[in-house]
Chain A
């Protein structure tokens, strides 16, 4: 059985916004609610990894990443998130370390 995958650029937006829905379109909060959280639940329910491909966007604000992945950590617990989530970024590997820190710091 294959892992569950999300490409942020293809499945959500190639131009991610800021933190909250109230900040404007394609926010971290919107990404969490519409895609990240449902797919994460599906992955844990089926005992699969959730692979998130961060490449292909125009870039990220720190607020987008810390809101989406920080909220994931707060909602499901950092241990569960760290054992389920696989982050990919060939274009900017520092994104991975920043996102992991956002998860661990929650």
Chain B
């Protein structure tokens, strides 16, 4: 039996435009690591990559809890623009467990991994760097700071267990053109995922009612829709069950809807949520974890 598996990366590797294809490939890679195999990521046919999927890929490369100490390999894209994009996101030629990270957004590393801690100084430094890029001066963007702390705390409290805590990853990318400047953020924890951490969701998904596939899909979508709405309104207790808890997601939702961010999305388990547009989708691939994507845009 081979000790190596090859994972075909889709032509467009993005959670935003093709989440199910990206998750399917990443799930295959995770399965390979679980079976203690070297995982080769085949990008040869890939034309376009985006920060959302690349951040999870880098998490796989860097986090020994995810790759279980197994090596990773990468077959580079034929497409030169795609190859350049991978490099710009911090993926380097030397691909293994000790992958070198990019440093294109000094002084904030492109990727940040912590040992399951709410790193307030990292959040502060991120706000300082982001505001200096966007506004030319340091501005306390309180909404951004609050969002970052909430996400870190969410990972710390819900993504893993006390015996197996999870790390979080933050991936920051700056963009500018003639009319706009923007900073986008990908925040990922590859734990159980927000939905699966909710006691109410666990009860629903383990309810053994025999139903046909279409009915099952419809029912699951209704569950996701209802749970998301209640989650955003703060009507669902967190997995801790304590009354004072479960305020983080309502805050994220409120900030997203107030327009502080030009984009605010979440992929968790089989749900894809656009907070800013208040839209929810059901995915047919299960993502083990929670991944947020949000962006601040400013006219020049």
A residues with a Cβ closer than 8 A to B are 13-19, 23-27, 57-64, 66-67, 70, 91-92, 102, 105-106
Residue of B127, B157, B245, B248 near A58 (CB, 8 A) is B127
Residue of A15, A23, A92, A102 near B123 (CB, 8 A) is A15
B146 near A17: Cβ-Cβ < 8 Å: no
- Residues of chain A lying within 8 A (CB to CB) of residue B145: 15, 57-59
Residue of B140, B141, B156 near A23 (CB, 8 A) is B156
**Pairs across A and B, CB under 8 Å, 21 listed:** A15-B121, A15-B145, A17-B120, A18-B118, A18-B149, A18-B152, A18-B156, A19-B153, A23-B117, A23-B153, A23-B156, A24-B156, A25-B121, A26-B120, A58-B124, A58-B142, A59-B140, A60-B146, A63-B247, A70-B244, A92-B142
Shortest distance from the beta carbon of B248 to any chain A beta carbon, whole Å: 6
A66 near B244: Cβ-Cβ < 8 Å: yes
The CA of A57 and the CA of B146, in the complex, are separated in Å by 10
Q: Does B298 contact A (CB under 8 A)?
A: no
- Residues of chain B lying within 8 A (CB to CB) of residue A13: 120
Give the most central of B123, B143, B146: most A CB within 10 Å. Answer: B146
Residue of B120, B141, B250 near A15 (CB, 8 A) is B120
Task: For A58, give the chain B residue with the smallest CB separation.
Answer: B145
Shortest distance from the beta carbon of A26 to any chain B beta carbon, whole Å: 5
- Residues of chain A lying within 8 A (CB to CB) of residue B144: 59
Q: How large is the interface on B (under 10, 10 to 19, 20 to 34, 35 or more residues)?
A: 20 to 34
B118 near A24: Cβ-Cβ < 8 Å: yes
Shortest distance from the beta carbon of B296 to any chain A beta carbon, whole Å: 14
- Residues of chain A lying within 8 A (CB to CB) of residue B245: 63, 66
Within 8 A of A (CB), among B243-286: 243-245, 247-248, 250-251
Residue of A59, A70, A106 near B146 (CB, 8 A) is A59
The CA of A67 and the CA of B150, in the complex, are separated in Å by 14
B153 near A58: Cβ-Cβ < 8 Å: no
Closest 9 A/B residue pairs (Cβ): A59-B145, A59-B142, A62-B247, A24-B118, A18-B153, A61-B149, A18-B118, A15-B124, A58-B145
The CA of A25 and the CA of B123, in the complex, are separated in Å by 12
Task: For B126, give the chain A residue with the smallest CB separation.
Answer: A58
Q: Does B119 contact A (CB under 8 A)?
A: yes
Shortest distance from the beta carbon of B154 to any chain A beta carbon, whole Å: 9
- Residues of chain B lying within 8 A (CB to CB) of residue A18: 118, 149, 152-153, 156
The CA of A62 and the CA of B250, in the complex, are separated in Å by 10
The CA of A70 and the CA of B242, in the complex, are separated in Å by 12
Task: For B238, give the chain A residue with the smallest CB separation.
Answer: A63
The CA of A18 and the CA of B121, in the complex, are separated in Å by 12
A62 near B140: Cβ-Cβ < 8 Å: no
- Residues of chain B lying within 8 A (CB to CB) of residue A25: 118, 120-121
Residue of A17, A58, A63, A66 near B140 (CB, 8 A) is A58
A102 near B244: Cβ-Cβ < 8 Å: yes
A59 near B244: Cβ-Cβ < 8 Å: no
Known: A26-B120, A62-B248, A105-B243. 12 other contacts (CB 8 A): A23-B117, A23-B157, A24-B117, A57-B142, A58-B127, A58-B142, A59-B142, A59-B146, A60-B142, A61-B149, A63-B248, A67-B244
